[in-house]
């Protein structure tokens, strides 16, 4: 019997019990099954986790070595074994005097120097001291990147909108020409700064969009186009090859994973939008969560507890998905961001040693902001046959004092939804109107979506993914599963261009290639 088996046995023995019974039996349940970091509270009392389950989960975390692995990460050990790399995105937001070493070398001075260069550049663009070669002020910034070089900055630009006082920011990610076309269509190349964001500087979508943007700028300003470009990458040889001036290149090391990279140079577009000071407050928030994760006892540790809730729902209850439901419009892109963070990190089928996993790993993560989701898919959450654990996020205060009544309505809806999921309406004269209730949710409540809070939220989820990955014994920091599609796309392109032969392709693919050529005439 493993602890996973014990958890399942405990779940089976208590499956008929209503979560409301847990509240009846324990008036302190909310206090006992919630945790706090400053003005942020994680409530997981509306789940079926009881004292015995929590004990087992905490034992599991210890048995699976979560603490040792966490310490190894912060110590700069090469815990990303399949790529032979350290995992040190936390170093990007290390606001302390502590050295962070990789192979005996303190990486902090390099990180600080890059951050200062970013700040000088961002300040220059914002003040107009750095202009286009013509002397024109940059009014718009276009970040071209995809995956980890896009989702974080896109999410942050919206989350930090109340602090946005710099040039307008735009994002191009999809290789679909519609994306770059539609974004550039509304802009003036003479006053646009293009930031090419790519850790590897080989990603075909980004390189293709970057070349398109280059032609667009060149058509307007000719040889001065170089002065409209900057690059964010860990491949400095390739940025030079692309023709980007070295003083416009902001580098980072291979121990920053793409989906963990928004804290450093990949965040430049955000820093230009909100300024280095506000960006620094975002880093402060991330650092605060790091310190908490490193030092708080497991039973009070927010990322650990959120991870254990995930393990309970996935491995003990067998719920294969979880919904992230921010009642915070400015977290609109959090679910998309988490889809990469969580599913690319923990969507794995083998353990660190290559042996097949015997436990289910990364669940499907999905969601939309409330209240919009309520008018779309909540029907299934309340009355569908699948149980979907819901993760609500909500701020006590909005940023629009004049619209306090709307914020009150927002918060009322958030609390009403978790209450409805819990309590349900089990008896009704019409079965179509029955709400079974007893459906689990967590709520993360914070005072306000400040830059610090936003940093804490992102770091909370990063470490939650870490905790779950450590418990499953997988490498959360590689992503081999994205490679095959890339390779096949490269091989497919000549066939799409009508230059190759579909012999050897499976019947469906050959059929679709035939259809494509028919449709194209």
Known catalytic residues? Answer: 344, 375, 486
Q: What's the closest the beta carbon of residue 257 comes to ligand G6P, in angstroms?
A: 7
* Range list of β-strands (E), 343-478: 364-366, 390-395, 441-446
Q: Binding residue for ligand G6P (CB under 6 A) from 192, 198, 442, 475?
A: 198
Q: What's the closest the beta carbon of residue 521 comes to ligand G6P, in angstroms?
A: 34
Based on the shown chain and the rule CB under 6 A, indicate whether residue 258 belongs to the binding site for ligand G6P.
yes
b/e 110-128 (16+ beta carbons within 10 angstroms → b)? ebeebbebbbebbbebbee
* Residue nearer to ligand G6P on the CB measure, 92 or 414: 92
Query: What is the C-alpha separation between 102 and 108, in angstroms, rounded?
Result: 10
Q: What's the closest the beta carbon of residue 389 comes to ligand G6P, in angstroms?
A: 26
Based on the shown chain and the rule CB under 6 A, indicate whether residue 482 belongs to the binding site for ligand G6P.
yes
Q: Binding residue for ligand G6P (CB under 6 A) from 34, 45, 90, 149?
A: 149
Based on the shown chain and the rule CB under 6 A, indicate whether residue 418 belongs to the binding site for ligand G6P.
no
Query: What is the C-alpha separation between 50 and 14, in angstroms, rounded?
Result: 9
Based on the shown chain and the rule CB under 6 A, indicate whether residue 362 belongs to the binding site for ligand G6P.
no
Contact yes or no for 40/445 (Cβ under 8 A):
yes
> Which class for 150: exposed (0-12), middle (13-18), buried (19 or more C-beta within 10 A)?
buried
Any residues with CB less than 8 A from the CB of 153 and at least 6 apart, and which? 143, 145, 169, 171, 197, 262, 266, 267, 269, 270
Query: What is the C-alpha separation between 57 and 398, in angstroms, rounded?
Result: 35
Q: What's the closest the beta carbon of residue 242 comes to ligand G6P, in angstroms?
A: 13
Q: Binding residue for ligand G6P (CB under 6 A) from 69, 199, 214, 292?
A: 199
Peptide bond into 371 cis (omega under 30): yes
Binding mask 209-248 for ligand G6P (x = CB under 6 A): ----------------------------------------
Cα separations (Å) of 397 from 297, 325, 372, 446? Answer: 29, 17, 19, 8
* Residue nearer to ligand G6P on the CB measure, 258 or 424: 258
Q: Binding residue for ligand G6P (CB under 6 A) from 259, 330, 382, 463?
A: 259
* Residue nearer to ligand G6P on the CB measure, 143 or 417: 143
* Residue nearer to ligand G6P on the CB measure, 311 or 338: 338
Q: Binding residue for ligand G6P (CB under 6 A) from 48, 206, 418, 443?
A: 206
* Residue nearer to ligand G6P on the CB measure, 343 or 390: 343
Q: What residues between 338 and 357 interact with ligand G6P by CB under 6 A?
A: 344
Based on the shown chain and the rule CB under 6 A, indicate whether residue 80 belongs to the binding site for ligand G6P.
no
Residue written as tokens 């689990």?
Answer: 440
Q: What's the closest the beta carbon of residue 151 comes to ligand G6P, in angstroms?
A: 8
Any residues with CB less than 8 A from the CB of 1 and at least 6 apart, and which? 9
Based on the shown chain and the rule CB under 6 A, indicate whether residue 85 belongs to the binding site for ligand G6P.
no
Any residues with CB less than 8 A from the CB of 354 and at least 6 apart, and which? none
Query: What is the C-alpha separation between 413 and 409, in angstroms, rounded?
Result: 6
Q: Binding residue for ligand G6P (CB under 6 A) from 35, 86, 107, 147?
A: 147
Three-state DSSP class for 1? Answer: coil
* Residue nearer to ligand G6P on the CB measure, 92 or 513: 92
Tokens at 51, concatenated: 């004292």
* Residue range at the interface with ligand G6P (CB under 6 A); choices 21-29, 194-202, 307-315, 402-410: 194-202
Query: What is the C-alpha separation between 142 and 189, in angstroms, rounded?
Result: 10
CA neighbor of 389 nearest in space, from 453, 455, 322: 322
Cα separations (Å) of 516 from 178, 363, 488, 499? Answer: 19, 35, 17, 13
* Residue nearer to ligand G6P on the CB measure, 481 or 514: 481
Q: What's the closest the beta carbon of residue 197 comes to ligand G6P, in angstroms?
A: 7
Q: What's the closest the beta carbon of residue 99 comes to ligand G6P, in angstroms?
A: 27
* Residue nearer to ligand G6P on the CB measure, 148 or 276: 148
Q: What's the closest the beta carbon of residue 485 comes to ligand G6P, in angstroms?
A: 9
Residues that bind ligand G6P (CB under 6 A): 146-149, 198-200, 203, 206, 258-259, 344, 479, 482
């Amino acid at each position: 019997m493993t602890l996973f088996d014990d958890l399942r046995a405990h779940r089976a023995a208590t499956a008929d019990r209503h979560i409301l019974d847990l509240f009846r039996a324990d008036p302190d349940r909310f206090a006992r099954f919630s945790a706090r970091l400053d003005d942020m509270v994680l409530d997981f009392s509306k789940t079926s986790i009881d004292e015995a389950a929590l004990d087992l989960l905490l034992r599991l975390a210890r048995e699976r070595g979560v603490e040792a692995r966490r310490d190894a990460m912060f110590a700069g050990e090469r815990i990303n074994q399949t790529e032979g790399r350290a995992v040190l995105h936390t170093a990007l937001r290390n606001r302390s005097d502590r050295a962070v070493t990789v192979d005996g070398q303190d990486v902090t001075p390099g990180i600080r120097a890059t951050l200062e260069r970013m700040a000088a550049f961002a300040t220059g663009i914002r003040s107009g001291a750095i202009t286009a070669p013509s002397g024109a002020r940059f009014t718009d910034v276009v970040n071209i990147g995809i995956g980890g070089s896009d989702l974080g900055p896109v999410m942050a630009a919206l989350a930090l909108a109340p602090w946005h006082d710099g040039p307008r920011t735009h994002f191009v990610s999809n290789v679909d020409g519609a994306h770059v076309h539609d974004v550039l269509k509304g802009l003036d190349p003479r006053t646009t700064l293009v930031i090419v964001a790519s850790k590897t500087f080989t990603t075909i979508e980004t390189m293709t969009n970057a070349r398109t943007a280059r032609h667009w700028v060149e058509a307007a300003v000719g040889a001065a186009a170089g002065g409209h470009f900057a690059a964010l990458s860990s491949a400095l040889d390739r940025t030079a090859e692309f023709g980007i001036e070295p003083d416009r290149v902001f580098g980072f090391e291979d121990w920053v994973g793409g989906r963990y990279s928004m804290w450093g140079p990949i965040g430049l577009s955000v820093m230009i939008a909100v300024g280095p000071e506000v960006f620094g407050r975002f880093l402060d928030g991330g650092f605060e969560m790091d310190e908490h994760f490193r030092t708080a006892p497991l039973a009070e540790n927010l990322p650990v507890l959120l991870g254990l809730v995930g393990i309970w729902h996935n491995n003990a209850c067998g719920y294969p998905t979880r919904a992230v439901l921010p009642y915070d419009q400015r977290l609109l892109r959090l679910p998309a961001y988490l889809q990469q963070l969580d599913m690319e990190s923990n969507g794995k089928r083998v353990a660190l040693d290559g042996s097949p996993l015997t436990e289910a790993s990364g669940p499907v993560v999905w969601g939309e902001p409330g209240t919009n989701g309520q008018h779309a898919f909540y029907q299934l959450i309340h009355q569908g046959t699948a149980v979907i654990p819901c993760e609500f996020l909500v701020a006590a205060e909005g940023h629009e004092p004049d619209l306090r009544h709307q914020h009150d309505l927002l918060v009322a809806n958030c609390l009403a939804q978790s209450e409805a999921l819990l309590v349900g309406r089990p008896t009704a004269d019409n079965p179509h109107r029955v709400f079974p209730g007893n459906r689990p949710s967590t709520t993360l409540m914070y005072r306000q979506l400040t830059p610090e809070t936003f940093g804490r939220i992102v770091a909370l989820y990063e470490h939650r993914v870490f905790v779950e990955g450590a418990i499953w014994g997988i490498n959360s920091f590689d992503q081999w599963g994205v490679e095959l599609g890339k390779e096949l796309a490269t091989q497919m392109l000549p066939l799409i261009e009508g230059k190759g032969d579909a012999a050897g392709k499976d019947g469906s693919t050959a059929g679709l290639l035939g259809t494509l050529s028919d449709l194209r005439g």
